[in-house]
Amino acid sequence: MKVCIAGAGAIGAFIGTRLALAGESQVSVLARGATLAAIRQHGLRLQQAGELHAAPVAASDNAADLGVQDVVVIAVKGPALAAVADACRPLIGPHTLLLPAMNGVTWWFGAGCAAIGDAPLQSIDPGGRIAAALPLAQVIGCVVHASVATEGGGLARHVMGQGLIIGEPIPDQTGGPSERVATLAALLQRAGFECTASADIRRDIWFKLWGNMTMNPVTALTGATVDKVLDDPLTRHFCSQAMLEAQAVGARIGCAIDQTPEDRHAIARKLGAFKTSMLQDVEANRPVELEALVGAVRELAQRVGVATPTIDTLYGLARLQARVRGLLPG
């Protein structure tokens, strides 16, 4: 199976290295600049459990050099997606599967949901440019439950977790996984991932987002690790209020959550003194995924008529910080 990794950061290098080492896939990478040079020299690399694993792969900054693929794993941050989607066009044939291993709300999130409607989410895909490049019929939704850091140059450092959840954006009415989801899940399992097929991937995306949409921007604003946010009763309460608003939105779009914010906080506490991805991005002066994690939640709330004053405040503060630091595109 031909698999191309579009975006060799933390998650892309993690998935690509595992697949290449498993030996069942012909793995290539779409990259550029210093990352491309490093991958050509060293291959994709993964540091895990004290060992460094390396896998030689084909790599280019021109997708036409790599050709049509069976699977394209899109593992970039939200701000980079529109440009990467255009660059991926030569990789996509009529049967290519697109696996976006990304955080937050995706460009296809409203597909099949009458409450959201067919119009593109302006916070994620203004004008529908991404949807035009990445056909919905070829998308397999994905949720990553793993903590991985990038060391640059196609080198990932695994921290914890091996989980991947994949599923059809618009599931089959039989409730079981489609043949293509089952085949892809089996490939990922043989590469060492704890991969499960979901009957409702949109709900799985929303459930992960439910915690990330508060902890990411709050830690980015304060510089605090997750444990410190939860130890302060005022910041914990603020996060809980935002989560209750997002929970109300989820109930309107078929993504009901039956936990309480405190239930989720208890899970987050197990991570200890953990730096979220957005805090890491701010510290490294990288663009932040604010729209996919918070802006899209506001837009969805507006579409379904749910007031979100706490989320609005969080979004405004995080957006201002990102603008001042030059971490928002445009």
Other C-beta atoms lying within 10 Å of the C-beta of residue 274 = 18
- Rounded to whole angstroms, the Cα distance separating 159 from 277 reads 12
- Rounded to whole angstroms, the Cα distance separating 68 from 81 reads 19
Rounded to a whole number of angstroms, the CA Rg of the chain reads 19
Secondary structure (H, E, C), 141-210 = EEEEEEEEEEEECCEEEEEEEEEEEEECCCCCCCCCCCHHHHHHHHHHHHCCCEEEECCCHHHHHHHHHH
Unique residue bearing structure tokens 């049509």: 68
CB-based burial, 232-257: b 16+ in 10 Å, e otherwise: eeebbebbbbbbebbbebbebbebeb
Catalytic, 208? Answer yes
Distance of CA 303 to the CA centre of its chain: 23
Secondary structure (H, E, C), 238-272 = HHHHHHHHHHHHHHHCCCCCCCCHHHHHHHHHCCC
CA distances from 149 to 47, 127, 211, 289, 290 (A): 10, 32, 19, 16, 19
* Angle formed by the axes of helices 261-269 and 201-222, nearest 10°: 70
Distance of CA 247 to the CA centre of its chain: 20
Other C-beta atoms lying within 10 Å of the C-beta of residue 230 = 19
In the set 2, 77, 208, 275, the catalytic residue is: 208
- Rounded to whole angstroms, the Cα distance separating 288 from 285 reads 9
Q: Which two tokens stand for residue 291?
A: 């729209």
Active site members: 208
